[in-house]
Structures are given as C-alpha cells and as structure tokens.
C-alpha cells in the first residue's frame, strides 16, 4: 500500500488504537500531522481531492496561491489555481465516464474503440496554459515530497 493510501485509510479509520507490535492508523495520522506543517499545500490538496473534504478547499486554494507566488506564476494566479483544482476534482472524461472506450451503440457494452475525446485515457484533457501545467507539476512534486516525509516518519 502506498503512503498516500495509508494516509487516506487512516483519515477515515475508526480504529485509532495504539498497537505496539505494528504501525496502526493512528501512527499514520500522527506522521501526517508532523509533516503537515512543512507540506501544508500537499496535505490540504489531498484533503480536498482524495477525501472530498471541501472545508479544506479555501486552505488548499490559499496554499496553491502561495506556491504560485513562490515560483513566479503571476499572470493570472487565481484563475490558474482554479483551473488546476477544478481538473483535479473532476478529471474524468464526460464522454466515456472514465472507461476509456466508446459504448457499442444501443448497448451497455464497451467497444474496442478508444474514446474519441480522451484517446482512451479516461481523463478529460486539461485546458491549461503553461502556468497551470507548471503549477500542477510543482504540486505533484510537493505531494511526492510530503509522501516521502510521511514514509520517513513511519520508519523512524
């Protein structure tokens, strides 16, 4: 299971008991809490995207705005952040419902032809400019750094 999967499972756990013999969900919650201060942007976006916690939408937006400011993304930062968050919240191709293939007309069966809109990826193509692509790449790196930091805490 990946670090993100452990984190997500722990956030939704009803078993927060300490287990001396193994790492439990409470240990993942603790580790993520320790890491959150240094990786607030990644953690807030995970809460929105992965957990559907829309109370974290404003903090995620603000954190992404700071990420823009820190990396010279200043043409239309609010629009850039909104575009990236909107795509991350709903990346599924509406034409194929994320299946990647067209339906056989008149049936619920998938054909062997890739969806014409998404090319078989199951995700809608983001309508991003260079700033949005740069922000997305920065965020993915921040999330990778946060996951690595959580994993290090769990090893220590």
Is the pTM value of this prediction over 0.85? no
Number of domains in the chain: 1
Confidence of residue 154 (pLDDT cuts 50, 70, 90): confident
- Is 89's pLDDT higher than 80? yes
pLDDT of residue 64: 97
pLDDT of residue 151: 82
Domain that holds residue 44: 3-155
Higher pLDDT, 8 or 127: 127
pLDDT of residue 16: 55
Q: What does the mean pLDDT of the chain come to?
A: 85
Give tens-digit pLDDT for 35-65. Answer: 788 999 998 998 899 888 899 999 999 999 9
3-state SS string for the chain: CCHHHHHHHHHCCCCCCCCCCCCCHHHHHHHHHHHHCCCHHHHHHHHHHCCCCHHHHHHHHHHHHHHHHHCCCCCCHHHHHHHHHHHHHCCECCCCCCCCEEECCCCCCEEEEECCCCCCCCECCCCCCHHHHHHHHHHHHHHHHHHHHHHHHHHC
- Is 30's pLDDT higher than 80? no
- Is 83's pLDDT higher than 80? yes
């Amino acid at each position: 299971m990946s670090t993100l999967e452990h984190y997500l499972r722990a956030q939704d756990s009803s078993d927060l008991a300490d287990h001396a013999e193994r790492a439990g969900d409470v240990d993942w919650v603790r580790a993520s809490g320790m890491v959150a201060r240094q990786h607030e942007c990644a953690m807030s976006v995970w809460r929105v995207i992965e957990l559907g916690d829309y109370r974290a939408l404003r903090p995620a937006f603000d954190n992404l705005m700071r990420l823009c400011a820190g990396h010279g993304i200043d043409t239309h930062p609010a629009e850039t952040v909104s575009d990236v968050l909107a795509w991350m919240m709903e990346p599924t191709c509406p034409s194929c419902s994320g299946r990647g293939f067209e339906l056989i007309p008149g049936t619920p069966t998938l054909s062997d032809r890739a969806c014409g809109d998404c090319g078989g990826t199951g995700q809608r193509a983001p309508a991003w400019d260079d700033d949005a692509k740069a922000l997305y790449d920065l965020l993915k790196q921040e999330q990778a750094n946060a996951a690595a930091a959580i994993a290090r805490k769990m090893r220590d």
